[in-house]
Amino acid sequence: MVQRILLVSLALVAVGAPRAWAQQRQITGRVTNATSGEPVGRANVSVQGTAITAVTSDQGEFSLAGPEGAATLVVRHIGFRRREVNVPASQGRVEVTLDPDVFNLEAVVVTGLATGVERRNAGNAVAAVSSAELGFVPTPSLEQQLQGKVAGADIQQNGGAPGGGLQVRLRGVTSINATAEPLYVVDGVIVSDVAIPSNQNAVTAAAGGSNPSLNQDAQVNRIADLNPSDFESIEILRGAAAGAIYGQKASNGVVIIKTKRGQAGAPQVGFTQRFGFFDRSNEVGSRVFRDTTDAFGAFAPRVPRDTATRRLIRGLCNLPNGACPFFDLENQLAGLKPLSFESGASISGGTENTQYFASGTVKDDGGIIQNTGFKRQGLRVNLDQRLGSRVRASLNTSYMHTLAQRGLSNNDNTGTSFYVVLSATPSFVNLGRVPGDTFARNPFVPSNPVQTAALMKNNEDVYRFIGGANLQWDAVQSGGHYLRFITLGGADYFNQDNALFFPPELQFEPNDGLPGTSLLSNTGSLNLNLNASAVHTYTPSSNAFSATTSLGIQYGWRRLNISRITSRNLTAGQENVDAGTNIVIGPERREKIKDLGFFAQEEFLARDQRLLLTAGIRADQSSLNADPNKLHYFPKASASYRFLKPASFVDELKIRGAYGESGNEPFYGQKFTSLRATSKIGGLPGTVTGDTTGAPDLGPEREREFEGGFDATLWGGRGNLEVTGYQKNVSDLLLPRQLEPTKGVNVLVANGGKLRTRGLEVTLGLIPVQQSDLSWIFRTTFALSRSVITDLAGLPSFRAGGFGASLGQFRVEEGASSTQIVGNDTLTAADVASTTYDYLKAADTTGTVVVRKIGDANPDFRMAFTNDFRWKHFDLHVLLDWQHGGSILNLTKLLYDFGQVTEDYGVALRDTVVFPTSDTTADTLRTVGQKRIYGFGKVAKNFVESATFLKLREITLTYTLPPSAMTSFWRGARYVRLSASGRNLFTIAPFTGLDPEVSNFGNQPIARNIDVTPFPPSRSFWFSIDVGF
């Protein structure tokens, strides 16, 4: 049947093709920029209703053979709004001016794996960021470029370490336990964003404490490998309504990246050179000790008398009258401002049949701590080739190497992590180098972080190749039928080497009796995908509607192997892992995943392109599900309608609504009930019970999302407003049922339970001033979301992150906010008197310690403000990012309190009797630090702080050389720009820790906002020169 239609269509081509070129006349014209008056080269000019097109020259001139009689020209260029111009039969030349597309309204947005629709028609809220909005200030990683630019995308850095490690959370909470990262698709290839811990845990033993998570290694999620300056556009599908086409992998949203491509024309070359530096942007501070008496009070109280410590303190506090010196330990550790640079070059161009784009980049970001930093070298070649009139092939390849050196941060249990040591070292101890170029020994903790940083190594080398080939065959293109076959194959391979080295001379190294530690981990990751789609569009000659049908299949294969070696007691301090006497191989992990998806979709565009109806379905099977051959279905549907000029100030109003479903896969291995084979005793291998088991019907989580809203273009394109509300109902959550330990299995992973996330997103763009030499563009985004656990499938509430009730922890609880933080709290008289207090039991009295809600990590709302000013040849870009509300668990402060070195530890209490209980220590509390310590285990909210912040994310001042000045000394130059820029130049936050963007456990579906001695944050300053010719 299909074949017959095809044959008929082919016949139509044969008959219909020559007719279009029957009668002709010449139309010439010139296209210019409406604001600057400069010519617009490479603009696409077409005659509406025909296949006739032309491309403007660099001078903006075009010429085409148009039909006899009146015609309508449609002029388009990326970065400009489209323009339709009527050309009467009598007119042969037209002047067309194009308005800059400030709000990116002309983008074509994704509707399927091989289909797209113009943004003005889209049935979903669109979040598209064009290359013009990227790259104002260089960043190591793509996510940072998006911060503050997309409503509903909460993008936060997990710590200050150089080289990435950020979480992109789209539309609030989507899961409790499954993956938290969106799906990344680059030129159609699904790429890996896995975060592989470095195994620094072998030294820090962070997982040896009350939370066994190995994700405390300040790991980098691998999207950091990609070079953001190669991107042409980024489109973000925030929820299931838009992302359903990616089925089982899409419930955290999808980030679709298109890289730059060549265009026919003379070669265009661009060079960018940037220089800059990083600078520590915040500090915890440390308590100032007045004199020996002050220090004795903290470290050697009268009873029991501790003569040794007193003698030690007298030796350190050796200024006149026993005054203590003050050393800025944070500055000793993290006071570097190393020169950093980024060099990039690109060339693009091509002929009618062949286009190319190639780029290379070298980046070197220095770190504020010795032996830290981030380097990237990358190379990209994109080729497009036309093979005959109907077949187009394209090839995208990129190769990159990144080296991240991230020091030693986050939680530890061995006194090794930089800030953990600082939290127990009073400020009168000098940790800097002492004469003879050796390092001071820390008498308070057997570890000197300045020495550690100077001598250790934590290198993460990644070599990565991403490549894809795309073949499109326009099988039929006639009589209103357009049938395309598209196949795409892609591969993403990377090899990650983590080499960590802690030489024996480090002060902490002898602690375990095995001086010297060398760690080596190797990861190989391969993602292969193969898509095949057929897309058929039918537009009747009446132009009454157009219907696009697509069918396709997507096959995926993933492999991830991680092997590790830990070597201790290194012979002669040799770094090779075979130099140790205590060598542990493993754990080794191997993952293989196979999946297959089918999709079908129908799009119907009618009513003069004002009405768009879409319906589609995706079916997925995967080896991650308990039944790998069962298909899981994910439907979607959307509708939109455009009203033209509904009010005098409204150019266009689009009402839209969409529904979609998507999934979140179980992790590899969750479905298995296994034994552990790693238990050896006396040289004999043994198998023991595993910790977890999977339900026999384990499958993906399911997100059902409704979204609705409107987009309005206002005041002749000077304003743009988008408002979207959404509700996500996530069911079949992958819940680890914490079994009672007496079962002997800790956790059963099963689908069950529901959560609901609702939110509102507003994007507003205004052009208050638009003149040829003065313009002001203002953009703002606003987003809020609220998530609640509506059903826990009968499970009791459980910890979703954190260390325990005494330290505050995330607790998932039916009916409560998904991101609530609970902790120990002591009942006050008012609590006991309250009748509404549901934790209260008859036995509870004032002073009883209970566990209750002490915070919520979810911010009240987020806003960002972008202002772009242009005055003559100067451009000023300012982006402010504001988060309001939310809680952070500041456990760094707790550690400092335990060390009695918190900056405010010694501040006198106004009310000395804090807990009027029978406890005799209560009335001896004199300082705020003592009060917090006294509250340890009793008042966990002492360590809950506000996550509110306002950051100056980006500021850039650019001077573009006027063409006259430029060409006077270099005729071939297209542009020369000089700019000075800065990132995160200031942060205003009530938070007393380092940075309110923080996550000790890396990317997390729920439990971000836990601060345990992270890497300190930095700001960066840059000076750049961009040259194009």
Partner 1 sequence: MRTRRVAIAAGLLVLAGCDFNILNTNQPRLDDLLSNPTRGKLTAAATGVMSSARTGMVPFIWRLGSMGREGINLSGNNQPDYAEPFFGPVQGGGSFGGTLWLDRYQSIRTANIYLQALANNTSLSGPDRLSDAERAASRGMANTYKALALLYVVETRAQLGAPVEVDRAIEQAPAPWVTEDSVYGYIIGLLNSAQADLTVAGSTAFPFRIPPGLADFATPTAFLKFNRALAAKANVLRATALNGCGGNPASCYTAALSDLGQTFLSTAPADFQSGAYLDFSTDPGDQTNDLSEPLDGSTWFALTSNIADADAQANGSKDQRVLTKIDTAEVVQRLGGIAIPGELKFTVYFSNGAADAGHPIPIIKDEELLLLRAEANWFSSIPNKGQAITDLNLVRQNSGLLLPTTVTPASSDAAFVTALLYERRYSLLWEQGARWIDARRFGLLATIPAAVTGGNVPEVMPVPAPECDARNLKPKTIGDIITCTPLNP
Site for partner 1 in 519-538 (CB under 8 A): 530, 532, 534
Minimum CB–partner distance for residue 31 and partner 1 (Å): 39
Among 805, 879, 888, 1007, binds partner 1 (CB under 8 A): 805
Task: Identify which of residues 328 and 919 has a Cβ nearer to partner 1 in the complex.
Answer: 919
> Rule CB under 8 A: which of 934-953 touch partner 1?
936-937
CB 170 within 8 A of CB 381: no
Q: Does 477 bind partner 1 (CB under 8 A)?
A: no
Among 74, 347, 583, 950, binds partner 1 (CB under 8 A): 583
Q: Does 926 bind partner 1 (CB under 8 A)?
A: no
Radius of gyration of the chain (CA): 31
CB 155 within 8 A of CB 989: no
CA-based nearest residue to 68, from 22, 100, 13: 22
Among 629, 648, 835, 964, binds partner 1 (CB under 8 A): 629
> Rule CB under 8 A: which of 117-156 touch partner 1?
none
Give residue 467's region: left, alpha or beta (phi > 0; psi -120 to 50): beta
Task: Identify which of residues 43 and 807 has a Cβ nearer to partner 1 in the complex.
Answer: 807
Residue identified by tokens 């990227």 is 134
Minimum CB–partner distance for residue 743 and partner 1 (Å): 6
Cβ neighbour number for residue 530 with a 10 Å cutoff = 15
Strands (E) located in 263-390: 265-280, 339-350, 354-366, 373-387
Among 191, 242, 244, 298, binds partner 1 (CB under 8 A): 298
Minimum CB–partner distance for residue 928 and partner 1 (Å): 15
Amino acid (1-letter code) at residue 246: Y
> Rule CB under 8 A: which of 210-269 touch partner 1?
210
Task: Identify which of residues 680 and 971 has a Cβ nearer to partner 1 in the complex.
Answer: 680
Q: Which two tokens stand for residue 647?
A: 């009010």
Minimum CB–partner distance for residue 314 and partner 1 (Å): 15
In angstroms, the CA 418 to CA 1014 distance is: 9
- Please identify, among the stretches 91-99, 231-239, 591-599, 943-951, the one whose residues bind partner 1 according to the rule CB under 8 A: 591-599
CA-based nearest residue to 708, from 250, 150, 239, 248: 239
> Rule CB under 8 A: which of 814-853 touch partner 1?
824, 841, 843, 848-849, 851
Task: Identify which of residues 608 and 919 has a Cβ nearer to partner 1 in the complex.
Answer: 919
- Please identify, among the stretches 494-502, 657-665, 794-802, 909-917, the one whose residues bind partner 1 according to the rule CB under 8 A: 794-802
> Rule CB under 8 A: which of 647-676 touch partner 1?
669, 672-676
| Buried b or exposed e, range 308-343, using 16+ CB within 10 angstroms | ebeebbeebbeeeebebeebebbebbbbbeeebbbe
Task: Identify which of residues 7 and 65 has a Cβ nearer to partner 1 in the complex.
Answer: 7
Task: Identify which of residues 457 and 594 has a Cβ nearer to partner 1 in the complex.
Answer: 594
Q: Which two tokens stand for residue 896?
A: 């400092």
In angstroms, the CA 185 to CA 470 distance is: 14
State the pairing for strand pair 861-871/774-791.
antiparallel
Among 590, 607, 645, 872, binds partner 1 (CB under 8 A): 590
Minimum CB–partner distance for residue 427 and partner 1 (Å): 13
Task: Identify which of residues 48 and 921 has a Cβ nearer to partner 1 in the complex.
Answer: 921
- In this structure, what are the phi and psi dihedrals at residue 328, rounded to the nearest 5 degrees? -80, 90
Task: Identify which of residues 566 and 858 has a Cβ nearer to partner 1 in the complex.
Answer: 566
Task: Identify which of residues 425 and 1018 has a Cβ nearer to partner 1 in the complex.
Answer: 425
Among 680, 836, 964, 971, binds partner 1 (CB under 8 A): 680
Q: Does 13 bind partner 1 (CB under 8 A)?
A: no
Among 79, 116, 209, 524, binds partner 1 (CB under 8 A): 209
Cβ neighbour number for residue 586 with a 10 Å cutoff = 11
Minimum CB–partner distance for residue 938 and partner 1 (Å): 9
Cβ neighbour number for residue 459 with a 10 Å cutoff = 15
- Please identify, among the stretches 84-92, 205-213, 722-730, 975-983, the one whose residues bind partner 1 according to the rule CB under 8 A: 205-213
Q: Which secondary structure element, helix H or strand E, spans residue 162, and what is its range?
A: none
Among 38, 58, 95, 919, binds partner 1 (CB under 8 A): 919
Q: Which two tokens stand for residue 589?
A: 């992990």
Task: Identify which of residues 590 and 607 has a Cβ nearer to partner 1 in the complex.
Answer: 590
Minimum CB–partner distance for residue 304 and partner 1 (Å): 7
Q: Which secondary structure element, helix H or strand E, spans residue 645, and what is its range?
A: strand 632-647
Minimum CB–partner distance for residue 555 and partner 1 (Å): 6
Beta bridge partners of 876: 869, 957
> Rule CB under 8 A: which of 377-436 touch partner 1?
411-415, 420, 424
Minimum CB–partner distance for residue 124 and partner 1 (Å): 29
Q: Could you say which DSSP state residue 159 is in?
A: -
Minimum CB–partner distance for residue 900 and partner 1 (Å): 4
Amino acid (1-letter code) at residue 981: S
Alpha-carbon torsion 138, 142, 144, 146, what sign?
positive
Residue identified by tokens 């003149």 is 771
CB 7 within 8 A of CB 474: no
What is the DSSP annotation of 689-747?
A: E-SEEE-TT---EEEEEEEEEEEEEEGGGTEEEEEEEEEEEEES-EEEEE--GGGS--E
> Rule CB under 8 A: which of 434-473 touch partner 1?
444-446, 473
Minimum CB–partner distance for residue 55 and partner 1 (Å): 30
Task: Identify which of residues 352 and 740 has a Cβ nearer to partner 1 in the complex.
Answer: 740
Among 432, 510, 573, 1028, binds partner 1 (CB under 8 A): 510
State the pairing for strand pair 166-170/650-664.
unpaired
In angstroms, the CA 85 to CA 90 distance is: 14
Minimum CB–partner distance for residue 120 and partner 1 (Å): 33
Among 97, 309, 539, 727, binds partner 1 (CB under 8 A): 309
- In this structure, what are the phi and psi dihedrals at residue 687, rounded to the nearest 5 degrees? -110, 135
Q: Which two tokens stand for residue 133?
A: 């909005």
Task: Identify which of residues 628 and 963 has a Cβ nearer to partner 1 in the complex.
Answer: 628
End-to-end, the C-alpha distance of the chain in Å comes to 54
Among 628, 752, 963, 1028, binds partner 1 (CB under 8 A): 628
Among 898, 959, 986, 1029, binds partner 1 (CB under 8 A): 898
Among 746, 770, 790, 867, binds partner 1 (CB under 8 A): 746
> Rule CB under 8 A: which of 686-745 touch partner 1?
686-691, 693, 738-745
CB 38 within 8 A of CB 50: no
Among 37, 436, 685, 972, binds partner 1 (CB under 8 A): 685
> Rule CB under 8 A: which of 326-365 touch partner 1?
none
Minimum CB–partner distance for residue 188 and partner 1 (Å): 16
- Angle at alpha carbon of residue 923, lines to 918 and 928, rounded to 5°: 125
Q: Could you say which DSSP state residue 923 is in?
A: G
CA-based nearest residue to 324, from 225, 422, 426: 426
**How many residues bind partner 1, per CB under 8 A?**
113
> Rule CB under 8 A: which of 542-581 touch partner 1?
553, 555
Q: Does 917 bind partner 1 (CB under 8 A)?
A: no
Task: Identify which of residues 481 and 756 has a Cβ nearer to partner 1 in the complex.
Answer: 481
Amino acid (1-letter code) at residue 323: A
Alpha carbon 88 to chain centroid, angstroms:
51
Task: Identify which of residues 209 and 338 has a Cβ nearer to partner 1 in the complex.
Answer: 209
Q: Which secondary structure element, helix H or strand E, spans residue 541, and what is its range?
A: none
